Structures are given as C-alpha cells and as structure tokens.
Amino acid sequence: QVQLVESGGGSVQAGGSLRLSCAAAGFNFINYGMDWFRQVPGNEREFVAGISWNGETTRYSDDVKGRFTISRDNTKKMVYLQMSNLQPEDTGIYSCAAVFASRWPAPLEHDWWGQGTQITVSP
C-alpha cells in the first residue's frame, strides 16, 4: 500500500551536487508534510530538511541550510532534495518520511518512512 521510494543517491566528490527524489504512493500526499533525514551507520538519525503539505513552509538543519533545497510537487506526488556543495560530512543514508499535516513539523516520529538511498561524498 503505502510507498515512499527514494532515488538519486550515489557517490560524488566534495563540492558536487545531487538531487534526491522521493516518490509517494498509497496515501493522500497533499495531506502530509514531508521530511528528509539522514543517518550514518552507528549514529542516530538526523533531520535534514522538511516541507509543509502545501510547500508554504520549509525548514532545514543548520548544517545544510544554504546548500540544500527541499521542494515538492503535489501533482506528481514527489518530494525532492537538491543538494549542492556536498561535503564528506553529508555522507549517509537519506530517507524521506511523511507526517500528517496537522502534526508537522514533527521531531522524529513520522507516519511512514522510505527505505533510504546512500549518499557518499569523497574528499
């Protein structure tokens, strides 16, 4: 039923750019805020960026602010994360997550999570 499928991950040199996509299915996408998280093995999951149900509000971690841009297309049921000037510290598994609009922004608890896609940034 519910699916959140990330794509666009891969390896990139420091200073490079990547765009992640998250395709949503099986739920009413416009009723949900969407967030991106990342996690390095052995570490806790870290919030990266989020966007409200209508795209009116966005939020970013201090570490990525000014370099990453989150956006969404409610017609295509897609959320994106444009990442520029990537640094080795950005390495991790990036996952998109959905949280019902009335509960957005939410800390870590979300309704659904994608499987994640690996980002590796080399020095």
Alpha carbon 50 to its chain's center: 7
Which pLDDT value is given to residue 113? Answer: 97
pLDDT in tens, 48-90: 999 999 999 999 999 999 999 999 999 999 999 999 999 999 9
What average pLDDT score do residues 22-29 get? Answer: 98
Which pLDDT value is given to residue 114? Answer: 98
Return mean pLDDT, the chain: 97
Run of H or E including 10: strand 10-13
The length of the chain is: 123
Q: Which of 70, 72, 71 has the alpha carbon at shortest distance from 60? A: 70
CB contact at 8 A, 80 and 71: yes
Cβ-Cβ contacts under 8 Å for 56 (sequence gap 6 or more): none
